[in-house]
């Protein structure tokens, strides 16, 4: 009677098992905290509740130790949520005794503390980036480029204005460093940046985006105007020898953004133009003039590194990629419009269902950032619907719509947002 009273009133998780882990008795706290009743637990093995399907590791450690064994693990409650439990266990009188306490709040607080520390470290190391300027050339840096480009893209779409980018590399810059040394190389970079700035308008913005690579963002500028500016800068660099390094040349890639086009798609185009300039002789301007942006290769395969650990979510991600690739394939094979339309409808429906189910799963598993994640889903769905409506009336190209699905809805969201909850299923 005294033992029964102890088990019914104690506020800890208490469990007695046989040496093979079969549950003989539990306290009422199991049902209150984890949701499992006494009837559901008796005769079952305790190992799954310790996060260990393998009996040889945990049980053998307890059985062979003369001390109390302490460990902690996440436990899946009956309602699907996660509780973190700290256990103390010992073998006594032919049975195993487990005493557990809920440390969920402590674990989450510790996790938040570590995340805040990492954020502070990142902010500290990126102070120069946050300033927005490259110290050597005084041009805007890559951080500033990536933060400014999206607002300019939004403005371009909102007011239906052209937007172009030219990017350029100094040819054989490594040879300059090897021949004259890095101090002269730095002088050449500053010299080239001044030439570039002196040949652009006040509305254009120049960036040093890495090494000897520069970019000029040109609002309200079409491909013809951007090519003219690129050629102007190219000639100025070629015709004005550097005082120490002598004649320097540069290769240029230029692309005008399609309406509604993702940055990744646009980047692929002006980067391809720059590559063509360098690979076909250098010291030239190459423009990307195709009427369609390049679509990714249809030979894409699922990267196992993108598995979250949750079977439902991972299967939906793979299916989403399969539907998207199938849609791209239909587009290039020029399938009948009604067939392509049916695939688009299937794709949009799958995205909405997946987003809803993913958020539901994250809520059940106690994901702290679930509401922020849900807000991102809502934003993506609105942008997808807006772009789809523009596509239906012919205001944006089909390939732009497809690129948005792949670049933003699948890869960008998966690699930068979904990965944040992967640890929830690997714990």
Q: Cite the active site residues.
A: 212
**59 vs 27, 51, 56, 231, 232, CA distance in Å?**
20, 12, 6, 74, 76
What is d(CA 214, CA 251) in angstroms, rounded to the nearest whole number? 10
What is d(CA 13, CA 30) in angstroms, rounded to the nearest whole number? 6
CA-based torsion, 341, 346, 349, 350: positive or negative: negative
**Half-sphere exposure of 200 toward its Cβ, with a 13 Å CA cutoff?**
26
What is d(CA 86, CA 13) in angstroms, rounded to the nearest whole number? 10
Residue labelled with tokens 């990492």: 118
Q: Are residues 211 and 173 in contact, defined by beta-carbon separation less than 8 angstroms?
A: yes
Most distant CA atoms of the chain, gap in Å: 100
**Half-sphere exposure of 22 toward its Cβ, with a 13 Å CA cutoff?**
4
Of the candidates 417, 140, 399, the residue with the CA atom closest to the CA atom of residue 266: 399
Residue labelled with tokens 């032919």: 94
Strands 250-256 and 82-92 come out as unpaired
What SS3 class is residue 18?
coil
What is d(CA 364, CA 51) in angstroms, rounded to the nearest whole number? 18
Q: Are residues 358 and 316 in contact, defined by beta-carbon separation less than 8 angstroms?
A: yes
Token pair, residue 337, equals: 């419009």
Residues across the chain:
427
Of the candidates 357, 304, 316, 314, the residue with the CA atom closest to the CA atom of residue 80: 357
């Amino acid at each position: 009677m005294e033992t029964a009273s102890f088990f019914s009133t104690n506020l800890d998780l208490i469990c007695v098992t046989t040496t093979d882990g079969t549950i003989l008795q539990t306290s009422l706290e199991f049902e209150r905290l984890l949701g499992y009743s006494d009837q559901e637990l008796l005769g079952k093995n305790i190992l799954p509740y310790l996060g260990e399907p393998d009996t040889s590791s945990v049980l053998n450690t307890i059985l062979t130790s003369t001390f109390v064994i302490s460990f902690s693990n996440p436990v899946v409650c009956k309602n699907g949520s996660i509780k973190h439990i700290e256990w103390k266990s010992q073998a006594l009188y032919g049975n195993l005794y487990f005493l557990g306490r809920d440390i969920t709040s402590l674990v989450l607080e510790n996790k938040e503390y570590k995340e805040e520390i990492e954020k502070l470290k990142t902010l500290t190391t990126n102070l120069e980036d946050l300033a927005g300027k490259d110290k050597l050339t005084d041009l805007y840096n890559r951080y500033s480029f990536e933060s400014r480009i999206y607002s300019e893209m939004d403005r371009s779409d909102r007011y239906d204005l052209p937007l172009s980018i030219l990017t350029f590399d100094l040819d054989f810059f490594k040879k300059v460093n090897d021949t004259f040394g890095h101090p002269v190389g730095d002088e050449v970079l500053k010299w080239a940046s001044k030439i570039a700035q002196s040949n652009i308008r006040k509305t254009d913005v120049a960036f040093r985006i890495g090494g000897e690579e520069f970019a000029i963002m040109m609002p309200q500028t079409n491909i013809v105007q951007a090519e003219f500016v690129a050629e102007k800068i190219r000639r100025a660099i070629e015709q004005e020898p550097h005082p120490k390094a002598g004649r320097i040349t540069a290769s240029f890639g230029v692309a005008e953004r399609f309406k509604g086009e993702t940055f990744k798609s646009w980047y692929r185009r002006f980067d391809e133009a720059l590559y063509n300039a360098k690979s076909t002789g250098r010291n030239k301007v190459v423009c990307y003039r195709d009427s369609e942006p390049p679509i990714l290769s249809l030979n894409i395969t699922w990267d196992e590194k993108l598995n979250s650990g949750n079977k439902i979510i991972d299967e939906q991600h793979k299916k989403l990629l399969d539907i998207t690739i199938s849609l791209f394939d239909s587009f290039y094979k020029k399938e009948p419009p009604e067939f392509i339309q049916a695939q688009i409808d299937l794709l949009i429906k799958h995205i909405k269902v997946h987003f809803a189910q993913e958020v539901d799963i994250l809520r059940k598993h106690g994901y702290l950032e679930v509401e922020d994640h849900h807000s991102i889903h809502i934003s993506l769905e609105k942008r997808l619907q807006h772009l789809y409506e523009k596509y239906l009336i012919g205001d944006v190209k089909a390939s732009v719509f497809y690129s948005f699905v792949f670049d933003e809805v699948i890869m960008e969201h998966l690699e930068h947002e979904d990965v944040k909850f992967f640890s929830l299923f690997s714990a």
